[in-house]
Amino acid sequence: MSKSAELAQLIRARAGAEPPEYGLVLGSGLGHLAAAVQGTAIPYSDLPGFPHAGVSGHVPQLVIGRLEGRRVAVFGGRAHYYESGRADAMRLPLEVLRALGCRRLILTNAAGSLRPDLPPGALMLLSDHINFSGTNPLIGEPSDARFVPMTAAHDPGLRAALQAAAAAEGLPLPEGVYCWFSGPSFETPAEIRAARALGADAVGMSTVPEIILARFLGLDCAAISVITNMGAGLSDEAISHDHTKAMAPLGAAKLERILRRFLGA
């Protein structure tokens, strides 16, 4: 039995056998959303191979249960490339999600804006992404499945449903391109100018590896950024991780409304 199958079996024994309809990965400062789920919380420390909390603002547990009537699996934290130098750090958790029978993944993150119409507190639905890091979570994968097409990596159907949910809540949800930098240092003003020239609308240190892995595993996925700051050189604000955590709640309340409406539809 594979490791992912063993962990899926362990999770079913504690949280029930019903497959989750959606997986949700929560970004920095957004972990409180897991508390809204009626179900079973399993610490990552009980799941061998799952990431430990290496970043403040993340809650290292998997919550399986119901939110707005839907069976969901919520990851209260993620592993980042900058923690270990491994772009595939979230591969096992996503393999477990697939082994549980889930087929759809919604990702969230905290991001820096490159657009004046996306201020801190705004949300951005990812329409596409740029892998600026130069690495890939599928490096070393021996099978031909590693050659994953990414043309529609951000699923049009899920994006349309999230847009409909936002409209029903009366909330704007502009779309844009997310650019993945490896971190952990924040971007320089020159790097921000380069990202803008390449067509990026927001920057961050996560999400893209999970999208690549999700498509490799056959999961449909969509992602939403909570804007916590303007990119370096675009404002006078001091950029820091503490600032990110402090600003994330501004958008998190709106994000929760959209996700609840989306799941309840």
- Give the residue numbers marked as catalytic: 28, 58, 80, 82-83, 110, 205-206, 229, 241
Look at residues 64, 82, 57 and name the one whose alpha carbon lies nearest to residue 135: 82
Look at residues 86, 81, 169 and name the one whose alpha carbon lies nearest to residue 123: 169
CA distance 19 to 29: 27
79 sits in the region (left: phi over 0; alpha: psi -120 to 50; else beta) called beta
- 3-class secondary structure, 61: strand
CA distance 72 to 89: 22
> Residues in the chain, how many?
265
Distances (CA, A) of 10 to 16, 96, 207: 10, 10, 26
Three-point CA angle 106, 163, 232, nearest 5°: 70
